[in-house]
A = this chain, B = another copy of it.
Amino acid sequence: MSGATPTQDPGSLRDLDAASEPADGSGGAPRGLSRRGLLALSGGLGLTVGALAGGTAAALSRPSVADGAGLAYPFFGEHQAGITTPAQDRLHFAAFTMRAGATRDDLIELLQDWTYAASRLTQGQDVSPHGAFDGGPYLPPDDTGEAADLGPSGLSITFGFGRTLFVTAEGTDRFGLAAQLPPDFTTLPTMVNDFIQPARSGGDLCIQACANDPQVAVHAIRNLTRIAIGRATLSWSQLGFGRTSSTSTSQQTPRNLFGQKDGTNNLKAEEPERLAEHVWISEGPSWSHGGSYLIARRIAMTIEVWDGLQLTEQDRVLGRAKGSGAPLSGGTEFTAPDFTKAGTDGAPLIDPRSHVARTNPANNGGIAMLRRGYNFVDGNDDQGRLDAGLFFIGFVKAPARFAAVHTNMARDDMFVEYLKTTSSSVFLVPPGVAADGYVGQALFAS
């Protein structure tokens, strides 16, 4: 917290121009929260603390430390953080609906406000220079304060656009964006074992907040939701823990709630050529290039049923040994599966209907994806079963590529017997933000 001593000037709104806003190293824009964003924070009272005190904004590019609370990832860059960023341990994911009657300018302003706040939060700062405790006594604090002592904790904030932002299901172009809808931006077909709940699917906008401390991720979603008041509302959200896929060769492969190493063959940050081939958008309107499609699917896992299976059957369904993660064709975790190798009975050691076989790029026209999902437990049902599973998040350069692999899996994969998908969404994550820009800026300049 700074030692800001705001002047009391009840007649004016907080000043947003460059003279009063301290330099923040971001190149100047977005320079602060919009009047609307500030009104949201102040409960719409229009009260004020006058001009900002100088020197309250710490540098946005605090050096990263090895790990833990002090770990900070840059917000600005070629791609948004939270895709190839080494997967953090905790997730708070939220989807938003634009307010009825919101305009294109409202949307732009919201994205500018979110950019400004996210650029601060990811560096361990409060949502605005007014902070949680020093904005003056007569306003609600800008920042809700519960993460004040926790540091950035590796927070990444990733913004995405739903298809409805471009054109609603009824064909309405609310924001003058229909012409910019990428042809690749399709919805997913209904698949086997889909039990999709509309109230926890889709949305005009999404925010993926990942951090190594859940309170930091929750704080980010809560404060960004608050800033959106009057422009967008939270429609659904999901917490998760224990990443289920590593996204960097520096990470060990984590285990899902079936006890399996998950994501052994995941695309990794250290494979730029494969990322260019499979993850980053390179076709369609140029504003989207360098972005990616985020597929989010809440997959409930019938863990109590799974737990009653013999180990051989668990391994057969996956196609790997549960303990080591090695494919049943032999070797160690990172040995490539050999789908042709047969056992003494002449049958393939890896069942053709196993999860490894059905999802392997070799059996899906070479399609790969970057997975970044999280385990969840949301209490239990009234028969004592945990409401547990995987909040799948995958990044692909076109939704149809995911749909092809997943349809192939859902139809024939033995694993699907133990899964029920209750939420399904596609968001376009626009490319990274320049230091003087805001999320999705090129879309609105198009």
Interface residues of A (CB under 8 A from B): 1, 43, 89-90, 92, 132-141, 143-149, 199, 213-215, 218, 222, 225-226, 233-239, 241-242, 252, 254-260, 303-304, 307-312, 314-315, 321-324, 375, 377-380, 382-386, 388
A253 nearest CB across to chain B (Å)? 9
Neighbouring B residues of A92 by C-beta, 8 Å: 377
Instruction: Tell me if A312 and B137 are in contact (CB < 8 A).
Output: yes
Neighbouring B residues of A146 by C-beta, 8 Å: 242, 255-259, 375
Neighbouring B residues of A256 by C-beta, 8 Å: 146
A225 nearest CB across to chain B (Å)? 7
Q: Of B233, B239, B384, B388, which is within 8 A of A377 by CB?
A: B239
Assembled-state Cα–Cα distance A87/B94 (Å)? 29
Instruction: Tell me if B237 and A386 are in contact (CB < 8 A).
Output: yes
A140 nearest CB across to chain B (Å)? 5
Assembled-state Cα–Cα distance A43/B139 (Å)? 59
Instruction: Tell me if B214 and A241 are in contact (CB < 8 A).
Output: yes
Give the secondary structure class of A's interface.
loop
A-B contact list, 20 entries, CB within 8 Å? A133-B311, A133-B321, A133-B324, A136-B311, A138-B312, A140-B308, A141-B259, A141-B314, A141-B322, A145-B323, A146-B258, A146-B375, A147-B255, A148-B255, A213-B242, A225-B386, A226-B304, A233-B383, A234-B380, A237-B386
Further pairs besides A137-B310, A137-B311, A239-B379: 7, Cβ < 8 Å? A137-B312, A145-B322, A145-B323, A146-B256, A214-B214, A215-B375, A218-B375
Neighbouring B residues of A147 by C-beta, 8 Å: 255
Neighbouring B residues of A379 by C-beta, 8 Å: 236-239, 378
Instruction: Tell me if A382 and B199 are in contact (CB < 8 A).
Output: yes
Neighbouring B residues of A312 by C-beta, 8 Å: 137-138
Assembled-state Cα–Cα distance A259/B223 (Å)? 12
- Who on chain B is nearest to A145 by CB? B259
Neighbouring B residues of A238 by C-beta, 8 Å: 379
| CB-CB under 8 A for A235 and B145, given A323-B133, A379-B378 | no
Neighbouring B residues of A138 by C-beta, 8 Å: 310-312
| CB-CB under 8 A for A1 and B323, given A241-B215, A384-B235 | yes
A395 nearest CB across to chain B (Å)? 23
Instruction: Tell me if A386 and B234 are in contact (CB < 8 A).
Output: yes
Q: Of B43, B89, B132, B388, which is within 8 A of A322 by CB?
A: B132
Instruction: Tell me if B199 and A307 are in contact (CB < 8 A).
Output: no
- Who on chain B is nearest to A1 by CB? B323
Instruction: Tell me if B215 and A303 are in contact (CB < 8 A).
Output: no
A263 nearest CB across to chain B (Å)? 14
Assembled-state Cα–Cα distance A257/B219 (Å)? 9
Instruction: Tell me if A237 and B323 are in contact (CB < 8 A).
Output: no
Instruction: Tell me if A134 and B323 are in contact (CB < 8 A).
Output: yes
